[in-house]
């Protein structure tokens, strides 16, 4: 049984809204690096059952790929509290994926939101 969730334009918003921590693998069946990354991603999903691991088939869901500006696949994205905190094209080796997940887990999301507000010219200070 797969530990990953197939994300579509119908369930994407709900999945990202209802879950604090979502990893998203943008992929396609014709993509060699995507196929080699799939077992690494699946293993990480099994090792992190508290997180949601989603997959977006860019062939079947071109609107989602376009909405996120996906230019090359595979692209891994991590969304925490509905904020994209990581996005990188390329198949990550297992150790790198584990490291990225660990770093994303440690993020102070209040600090992240504050930084985003500052970058967008929002309210400054506390």
For residue 79, what are the CA distances in angstroms to 30, 32, 60, 101, 108? 26, 25, 21, 11, 13
Question: Residue 116's Cα: distance from chain center in Å?
Answer: 18
Residues annotated as catalytic are 31, 34
């Amino acid at each position: 049984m797969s530990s990953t969730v197939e994300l579509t334009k119908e369930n994407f918003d709900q999945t990202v809204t209802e879950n604090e921590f979502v990893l998203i693998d943008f992929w396609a069946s014709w993509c060699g690096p995507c196929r080699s990354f799939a077992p690494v991603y699946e293993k990480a999903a099994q090792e992190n059952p508290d997180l949601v691991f989603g997959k977006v088939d860019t062939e079947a869901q071109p609107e989602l790929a376009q909405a996120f500006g996906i230019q090359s696949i595979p692209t891994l994205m991590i969304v925490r509290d509905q904020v994209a905190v990581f996005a990188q094209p390329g198949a990550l080796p297992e150790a790198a994926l584990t490291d990225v997940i660990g770093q994303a887990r440690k993020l102070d999301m209040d600090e992240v939101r504050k930084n985003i507000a500052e970058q967008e010219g929002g309210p400054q200070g506390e």
